[in-house]
Every structure is written in structure tokens, then in C-alpha cells.
Amino acid sequence: MARDTNLPMSSTAEAPSPKLKEGRGWLWSLLLGIVILGCIGAVPLLGDASALHIWTLIVMYIVMAQSWNFIGGFTGYSTFGNVAFFGIGAYTTGLILQANQPFWLGLIVSAIVAGLFAFLLGLPILRLKGHYFEVATLGTAEALRELTTARDIGGGGGGLMSLPLPSLDAYVGFFYAFLGLAFACLLITVWLTRSRFGYALVAIRESELAAEALGIATHWYKVGAFVLSALPIAIAGGLYAYWSTGFDPATVFDVGLSVEMVLLTFFGGAGTILGPILGAIVFEFVSFQLQSSGFTLHNTLLGLSIAIVTIFLPQGVTRLIQEFIRKPTPNAARVNSLMEGVQRVRRFIAANGI
């Protein structure tokens, strides 16, 4: 009898191991994210204006991919209209600056306006599912673009808005503002992976009917994720407005930006901590390098990338890295461990690709 009683105790003693490993996983992802953003933060020290310009845009794309990850990666609702929040942030901040009000006030107001718009829009639109939801969000972004053009909200004809030039020193400030926003999104992502709110979003992504059966108020959680994704994008739009000093509806309401948010997130790994960061850095850096070399087929590259990611990397680069560095067979040689990692990656692509 005593022997039978001890058996469950020994298995219980070993049970906390996976939890500890999972805890180390999110912590290592957070630390690695901080290191990556910290290395990017050294770009202004190079004294290269061109590099500063490129990396400012890359960090902006990191923020946009991270924000899309809240609703698309964790909740599983792929929206193609998040660029609407970017445009709202840009025009709201621009109008505040044209009224001779402080820039920081424009960023705050843009976040409030975008958050309120996301809340009011999300109430009806998040009752839709699948391609109905995607088309509805896409139509909303296009409607806003046409509205700002027709009403000439920017005052420059066709919605064109021109803002005063900031000082040369301000461009370093813009870079660090985007970087700080990316760091804030990183912390929010980590919070989602560890919080009850985030668990509810993942439950909705896996099976919304099952989540409702468990008593989760799925609609309100989706609305909350939608609003959460809108806030950083709106602030990024406000920063971009003053940074660029001039823009039009076709620029800040460009649906191509929404497509890139989706691509960057899935390329790196949707629903992960580091996925949007890695996806944005790799894809946008390569894209900028190709453009600087005279490559003009950016949209072609974007389309091919979407096809490749969908077919071969449905769970992103982050998942492949996890498969590659997974603990190898005990007592295996270093070369054998490397080959074993490659084999695991090949099997994973074969099993999960289309």
C-alpha cells in the first residue's frame, strides 16, 4: 500500500518541470527582445543620416506588426483595415499641430480618437467572421481614405497635409520615440502571453465556440483586443506625420501597409513575442537594401513573400528556430546535433506547409 501511495507523489514532483521551462521561455524571449531593440538603439551613434532614416521606418514597421499581432496573432481575427488607425493618428496629430498645439498633445488625442473609433467600429464588425470580417475592415480603411480626400481634411487639396519642419536634432528623437513604442508593445505582448486576458484571446483563436461554452465573453474580449491594437498604431501614425512633414490619404491609408503588417507578423510568427520584431527587421531591411540597389519591384517581392510564407512558413520563422534549437538527443555529437536540428526543421516544414 505504501508503495502505491508513493507513485503519484513522485510523478507529481516531476510535474512542475514543464511550467518552469515555459516560464523561462517567455523570459528569454523578453530578454532577447530587449537586446534586439537595444542594439537597434545604437543606430544614431553611427552618425549616418541614411541609416537613421531607414531604421526609423523599420522600427515603425515593428510597432505596426506588433500591434496587429494583438488582434490577428493572439485573437485569430485577420484584419486588413488596421491602417485606418495609422491614418487617423496621422491626421489627428497633423490637425493638432496646425492649430499650434503641442506635439505630445497630438499623440495623446490621436490615441484617444483611434481607440474610440476602434471601439465603436468593433462593436458591430467583430460579430462578423472569416472573410466577411476581413472585407469589412478593408472597406473601412478605403472609406476613410476617400473621405479625407473628398473633404480635403489636410487643407492642401485632395487631403494633402503639410506640417512645419522639425529641427534636425528632432529626427533622433523621433527614432527613439518609435523605439520606445516598440518596447512598450513588447511588454504588452509578454503580458498577453501571461495574463488572463491573453489566455482568453488564445482560447477565442483556437475555438470561439468552446471559449463561449467556458463562459468567456468573447465579443468584449475581441473588442478589447481591437482597441489595444489600434492605440500603438495611431501613435505611430502621429509620429510619422510630424517626421515626414507632409503626407496625403494615399500614403497614410495605404492598404499595402495593412498587408505588410500581416506579412511581417506571419513571417516572424503570429501569436509569439519575438515574431513581429524578427519579421519586420528581416523583411524590411532586405526590402530597403533592394530598393537602394535600384530594385523597383517592391510589390512583386511583397506578393511572392506572402505566397512563400503561406506555403512553407505558416507558423513563422520563430517556430522554425524553436524546432532547430530544441534539445537534441542525449550524448549526440555537435555535428550530429546540428544535422538533427536541420532534419527537425525539414520535417516541420513538410508537416505544416501546404
Q: How far apart are the first and last CA of the chain?
A: 53
Distance CA 140, CA 120 (A): 12
| 8-state DSSP, 138 | H
Residue position matching grid coordinates 523578453:
30
Q: What would the pLDDT profile of 193-250 be if each residue is shown by its tens digit? A: 999 999 999 999 999 999 999 999 999 999 999 999 999 999 999 999 999 999 999 9
| pLDDT at residue 338, rounded to an integer | 66
In the CATH scheme, what architecture does the domain 45-297 have? Answer: Orthogonal Bundle (1.10)
Residue position matching grid coordinates 523561462:
24
* 161 beta partners: 247
- pLDDT under 50 in the chain at which residues? 1-22
Distance CA 201, CA 193 (A): 10
pTM for the predicted model, two decimal places: 0.86
Contact 105, 242 (CB under 8 A): no
Phi-psi region of 217 (alpha: psi -120 to 50; beta: other; left: phi over 0): beta
Of 126, 43, 118, which Cα lies nearest the Cα of 86? 118
| pLDDT at residue 186, rounded to an integer | 97
Instruction: Give residues with Cβ within 8 angstroms of 9, minimum separation 6.
Output: none
Distance CA 285, CA 55 (A): 8
Contact 302, 263 (CB under 8 A): yes
| pLDDT at residue 15, rounded to an integer | 39
Q: C-alpha cell of 43?
A: 543606430
Neighbours of 271 (CB within 10 A): 25
Distance CA 120, CA 118 (A): 6
| pLDDT at residue 130, rounded to an integer | 87
Contact 75, 225 (CB under 8 A): yes
Backbone angles phi, psi at 128, to 5 degrees: -85, 160
| pLDDT at residue 301, rounded to an integer | 72
| 8-state DSSP, 333 | -
Distance CA 273, CA 116 (A): 26
